[in-house]
Amino acid sequence: MFLKRLRQATSGRHRALECQLPLLDPRLSRQSYHRIVSRFFGYYEPLEARLLSLPWWHEIGVDYAAERRKTPRLESDLIALGETPEALARLPRCAELPAVASIPQVFGCLYVIEGATLGGQLISRHLQAHLGLSPASGAAFFNGYGVQTGRRWQAFGATLTALVQRTGGEDDIIASANDTFATIDEWLFPTSGTRATHP
């Protein structure tokens, strides 16, 4: 199965990112959590703008705009955590985004950001227990699609598998997924002056 190959081929990048994120640390403070959500917003907002400008969604078979956008959840969380709309507009945005110049590259990128919703379920419960944050009070992003998260992940996996069976592109999908992990990692934990844009 291609999904198994994809998971194995990206596991190193995935683990490296997970090991750096302190979201399940019982010592996580509200202030640290706020900073992390701000950085996720700075990554997802320009990435989703780029994704939604692409012309291939009818071919891709994923209703990303209506069902899967993450930026509104991040905006809601940041407002709940005390930001203003004006402050959100001033947050830096990531300029080193993964390439999405083909349908396989889009699927590689989506594999990472859709897969993150599964781990977000565990994080959401931790945030509720340790910081008292619910989806309505600052943890909507990590709550993902709530009770629909598993079903939507399975639907995405089926769509990705069907694409590969129909058109191939396995190596491009794997490369794009690893590139997405790498750009998220560098944005959240910069090591060499990661470029950002400032609205």
Does residue 24 carry a pLDDT above 90? Answer: yes
Does residue 199 carry a pLDDT above 90? Answer: no
- Report pLDDT digits (tens) over 124-151: 999 999 999 999 999 999 999 999 999 9
For the record, the structure tokens of 101 come out as 């110049």
Does residue 194 carry a pLDDT above 60? Answer: no
Place 191 in a pLDDT band, splitting at 50, 70 and 90.
Answer: confident
Does residue 3 carry a pLDDT above 70? Answer: yes
For the record, the structure tokens of 90 come out as 């001033």
Q: Over the chain, what is the mean pLDDT?
A: 94
What pLDDT score does 196 carry?
62
- Report pLDDT digits (tens) over 67-95: 899 999 999 999 999 999 999 999 999 99
Does residue 192 carry a pLDDT above 90? Answer: no
∠ CA 59-64-68, rounded to 5°: 150
Place 181 in a pLDDT band, splitting at 50, 70 and 90.
Answer: very high
What number of helices (H) and strands (E) belong to the chain?
10, 2
Separation of CA 184 from chain center: 8
What pLDDT score does 37 carry?
98
For the record, the structure tokens of 80 come out as 């709940």
- Report pLDDT digits (tens) over 85-123: 999 999 999 999 999 999 999 999 999 999 999 999 999
Lowest mean pLDDT among 58-67, 133-142, 158-167: 58-67
∠ CA 15-20-23, rounded to 5°: 100
